[in-house]
Amino acid sequence: MKNLALINKKAKLIIALLLVTSITLGFTVIQKPDPEKDRVLISLLKFALTKGHYQPKDFNDDFSELVYKNFIKNLDPSKRYFLQSDIEAFSEYKNLIDDQIKAEDLTFFKLVYGRYKERVKEVESFYSELLTAPFNFNKKEEIELKYEEIQYAKTDAERIKKWQKELKLNAISGLMDRIDLEKEKHKKEASYHEKSFKEIEVEVRESIQNTMGDFFKRMLELNEDDGFSAFLNTITLAFDPHTTYFAPQDKKRFDISMAGKLEGIGARLQKKGDFTKVVELISGGPAWKKGELEVGDIILKVAQGNKEPLDIVGMRLDDAIEFIKGKKGTEVQLTLKKISGGIKVISIIRDIVELEEVFAKSSIVEKNGVKYGIINLPKFYIDFKKSNSRNSATDMTKQIEYLKQEKVQGILIDLRNNGGGSLSTAIDIAGLFIKEGPVVQVRYRDEKPNIRVDANKKIQWDGSLVVLVNEFSASASEIFAAAMQDYNRAVIIGSKQTFGKGTVQNILTLNNYVDYPQDLGALKMTIQKFYRVNGGSTQLKGVTSDVALPDRYAFMDVGERDEENPLAWDKIASANYTPWNKYSNFDEVVNNSKLRVRNSAYFNLANQNAKWLKQAQKTTSISLNFKTYKKDLEGRIQENEKFKDLNAFNDNLVFKSPTYEWPQLEKDSVLTQKRDVWHKNLAKDAYINEALNILAELKLKNTEHLVKN
């Protein structure tokens, strides 16, 4: 989770205020029973957002226009259902939605969602006929995927033409997949007779018929509650991208994910228009181990083992996830539109992402006769319900002690892809490396910041320290990295900047505030903002690395700045703190690293790859001519070959488990296998290698203050 679910004393006061105020203002069903659940919900959310959100918005014409635009866009992102006449009818309400929200008037919602259901049913009535005859793959035509720049169809005929192109794109993609499959079968068995293009084309259309039939069946099963949840989220997301309404079934799924047991491929997915996009890989999960799925990839189709793939473009995220997840040991095949632009089919064996995989672990490596320790921390974890259970701070303390026993001369902390977690543990971990002082400033709206400090004067590690981050190091990771940077305690190395999530959310169970017989779900709401000890917010800008290493996301807008409507960056007064200032060559080491990176063949290639990927994102149209489509796809694959050496790096260093873990490894073959995979990956990791180069160069002004090994 990127949000920090710390519920402190002030958060409880806000909840109490909401409860008390709602009673005194007659804002509950206790005093004024209302049989309409939708009106109760919209009233609750309006009140909670106004009173509790960190940066509340005025319900005015600007807000109305934002909700208007986003609700229509969320229902029909590719403009393939609504007609232009619908948009003209809806536009009468463009500046009235704020007034309707205040009056608990659902006219706009009912009009738009009702019309949407009508249009879906209309498309369902004609799509099948479009698949009865072969497509003309020799025709020179394209489909535009930058939907914000295309117009709604003015007539039914124009809408049918849009759907012809959509279905034809599916057919071309399916043809390519099946033709490749036929070639593979022939390679394995020379006597196998490959099917003709015509035979494959018929199979592809039949497959699309089945897929679309299932798709429209699910679409037409959606009820007004589903639509209203989407409408409420259009309102909440107008405040910021992390303020979300959870319908009852969504809240249950959220609770399960918080429990830490994940069964499936181990990836967090997000809806981006009509597409299902990979936004995070769970450390230790099946997808993470396989190494073929990447953040930024789009999942186009899902197949259960060797069964027919199901097209999930346009599918609701919840439904798509149902097909992707599954029981441990089962196979899922994903057809991906890779971040590099090509289409690729990968196979993943589902598994349970064990909690053990998110715990801190360490490794030892010897470089030029000197030992160094690496600690991997995938998450800032804690169990608030069990006070004596392990947490990331106590585990980090133990790992440092183990490394000290190994006589390491420096420690590297790997926070890549660490999406955050518990703020309290982030503060405690920062305290392991500084004597005492402020770590982070936490602020509620219109109030002075609360300076959270490390009060423990004990320093667990007083030697050289490097922190490795990337674009997906977020929230608590950014708090820790920022503190280490502000104190000049560690060299921060990695992506140009971290994720940039500097806000805190709290979960409000809505039935706690009204006496209503049905489950109303919950509201996840932004209530606080983080600031570094130097006064700068981590929001949007994240933490800028001392040494920026090129990677494939270097020129892309990823992280918080890729979200819609994020809160802005700002600055407050600096806290009173004293930098560590015990390195004798900090600036020299940073400059040396920058020079190495500039002259590195690997990082120069990584930089070229990043530019190529950025350029690939600018391609927004796809040819529907088979020969051109095939040529373009093969060209992308061929261009991508230029960067294959990025997967060939190996520093030939040997990484080993610390001595304390040896008895466990002798008893546990599964753990041994996991560590072997991790250690091999470390040796092939150019980013780890450069971080170790920095660690090896860092010198302290004297060694008297070093913690004794």
pLDDT (tens digit, 9 = 90+) per residue, 611-656?
998 888 788 889 999 999 999 988 988 888 899 999 999 999 999 9
Q: Give yes or no: residues 345 and 373 share one domain.
A: no
DSSP notation for 88-135: HHHGGGTTTHHHHHHTT--HHHHHHHHHHHHHHHHHHHHHHHHTSS--
In a domain, 216, yes or no: no
Is residue 493, in this structure, part of any structural domain at all?
Answer: yes
CB 79 within 8 A of CB 69: no
**CA angle, 463 then 464 then 468, to 5°:** 135
Q: Examine the fold and report which residue of 293, 320, 349 is the final residue of a domain before the chain moves on.
A: 349
182 is a domain residue: no
442 and 576: one domain?
yes
Of 43, 475, 477, 537, the active-site residue reads 475
Q: Is 486 a catalytic residue?
A: yes
Residue 15 lies in a domain: no
**Contact at 8 Å (CB) between 474 and 450?**
no
Query: Of 304, 332, 349, which residue is a domain's last?
Result: 349
- Half-sphere exposure (CA, 13 Å, Cβ side) for 75? 30
Domain co-membership, 343 together with 359 = no
Question: In this structure, are residues 147 and 80 in contact, taking their beta carbons and an 8 Å threshold?
Answer: no
Nearest residue to 476 via CA among 391, 386, 363: 391
Domain boundary among 307, 322, 349: 349
Quote the CA–CA distance of 687 and 473 in Å, as a whole number: 15
Query: Quick check: is 363 catalytic?
Result: no
Residue 70 lies in a domain: no
The residue annotated as part of the active site, out of 2, 168, 289, 501, is 501
Taking alpha carbons only, the member of 204, 119, 200, 203 closest to residue 169 is 204
Range of the domain at 287: 266-349
The CATH number covering residue 426 comes to 3.90.226.10
58 is catalytic: no
Q: Which portions of the chain are predicted below pLDDT 70? A: 1-35, 251-263, 273-274, 283-284, 340-342, 353-357, 384-387, 703-709
- Cα distances from 699 to residues 129, 223, 410, 490, in angstroms, run 73, 65, 10, 12
Q: Which long-range CB contacts under 8 A does 366-372 form with residues at least 24 apart?
A: 366/653, 366/654, 367/653, 367/692, 367/696, 368/696, 370/409, 370/696, 371/406, 371/407, 371/408, 371/409, 372/408, 372/409, 372/410, 372/411, 372/412, 372/692, 372/695, 372/696
Q: Compute, in degrees rounded to 10, the torsion defined by CA atoms 208, 629, 279, 64.
A: -80
| DSSP string covering 201-266 | HHHHHHHHHHHHHHHHHHHHH--HHHHHHHHHHHHHTTT-TT-EEE-HHHHHHHHHHHTT-EEES-
pLDDT in tens, 106-143: 999 999 999 999 999 999 999 999 999 999 999 999 99
Is 211 among the domain residues? no
Q: Which of 76, 486, 546, 551 is catalytic?
A: 486
Q: At what angle do helices 107-130 and 224-236 cross, to 10 degrees?
A: 120
Residue 387 has a pLDDT of 67
473 within a domain of the structure (yes/no):
yes
* 483 and 430 within one domain: yes
**Do 449 and 593 sit in the same domain of this protein?**
yes
- The CATH number of the domain holding residue 309 is 2.30.42.10
Q: Both 291 and 338 in a single domain?
A: yes
Domain count, the chain: 2
Residue 311, helix vs strand vs coil: strand
**Rounded Cα distance, 241 and 478, in Å:** 18
Q: Which H or E element spans position 334?
A: strand 331-337
Four-residue CA torsion sign, 19, 25, 27, 28:
positive
Nearest CA to 420 among 367, 375, 377?
377
The H or E element containing residue 289 is helix 286-290
What integer pLDDT is reported at residue 354 of this predicted model? Answer: 58
606 and 554, same domain (yes or no)? yes
Residues 595, 693 within the same domain = yes
What is the residue type of 624? L
Q: Which of 325, 330, 349, 333 lies closest to 262, judged by CA? A: 325
28 inside domain: no
Same-domain check for residues 577 and 641? yes
Note the Cα 672 to chain centre separation in Å.
30
Which of 15, 44, 4, 12 is CA-nearest to residue 505? 4
Q: Are residues 623 and 572 in the same domain?
A: yes
**Six token digits for residue 493:** 């190395």
Asked if residue 420 and residue 452 are part of one domain, the reply reads: yes
Instruction: Kindly report the pTM of this predicted structure.
Output: 0.83
Give yes or no: residues 626 and 500 share one domain.
Answer: yes
Q: How many CA atoms lie within 13 A of 632 on its CB side?
A: 18
